[in-house]
Amino acid sequence: MAIHFLQPLKIPCSVSGLSRVDVNDLFIFLIIATLTIGCTKEDGPAVSTSLKDKALFGIGAAVSVAHLKEVDFSDAFKNSFNQVSAEYEMKMAHLWTALGTYNWTSADYIVNYAAQNNMKVHGHTLLWYQSFPTWFKNAAYDSLNFENNVKAYILAVVSRYTGRIVSWDVANEIFADNGTLRNDGIVYKTFKDPVAFYGRCFKYARNADPNVKLFYNDYDMVLNSAKRNSVKEMVARFKRVGYPIDGLGEQCHTTIWTDNIQRSSGFTDLAKTGLLMHISELDVRVNQNKSDSYVFTDADQQKQSDTYKSIAAMFESIPQVQKFAITTWGLTDKYTWLTGWWHPKEYPLLFDNNYGKKKAYNGFLEGLN
* Interface with ligand XIL (CB under 6 A): 87-88, 172, 251, 281, 337
Between 210 and 340, CB nearer to ligand XIL = 340
| b/e burial code for range 136-169 (CB count within 10 A of at least 16 → b) | beeeeeeeeebbebbbebbebbbebbeebbbbbb
The nearest distance, CB 251 to ligand XIL, in angstroms, is 6
The nearest distance, CB 69 to ligand XIL, in angstroms, is 17
* Helix (H) / strand (E) containing 143: helix 143-160
The nearest distance, CB 212 to ligand XIL, in angstroms, is 19
Ranked by CB distance to ligand XIL, the top (closest) residue is 337
**Which residues neighbour 235 within 8 Å (Cβ) at sequence distance 6 or greater?**
216, 245, 248, 273, 275
The nearest distance, CB 66 to ligand XIL, in angstroms, is 11
What's the CA gap between 36 and 28, in Å, rounded?
Answer: 12
Among candidates 318, 359, 231, which has minimal Cα distance to 57? 318
Phi-psi region of 296 (alpha: psi -120 to 50; beta: other; left: phi over 0): beta
Q: Quickly list DSSP for 19-37.
A: -HHHHHHHHHHHHHHHHHT
DSSP β-bridge partners for residue 258 = none
Between 92 and 212, CB nearer to ligand XIL = 92
Between 37 and 186, CB nearer to ligand XIL = 186
The nearest distance, CB 55 to ligand XIL, in angstroms, is 22
Asked if the bond preceding 125 is cis, omega within 30° of 0, the reply is yes
Between 58 and 123, CB nearer to ligand XIL = 123
The nearest distance, CB 53 to ligand XIL, in angstroms, is 27
DSSP summary character for residue 181? B
Between 67 and 357, CB nearer to ligand XIL = 67
Pairing between β-strand 83-86 and β-strand 120-123 as defined by DSSP bridges: parallel
Between 25 and 184, CB nearer to ligand XIL = 184
**Which residues neighbour 191 within 8 Å (Cβ) at sequence distance 6 or greater?**
143, 146, 197
Active-site residue set? 173, 281
In the chain, the N- to C-terminal Cα span, in Å, equals 31
| Rounded alpha-carbon distances, angstroms, from residue 210 to 174, 238, 244, 274, 348 | 24, 17, 10, 20, 36
What's the CA gap between 239 and 16, in Å, rounded?
Answer: 70
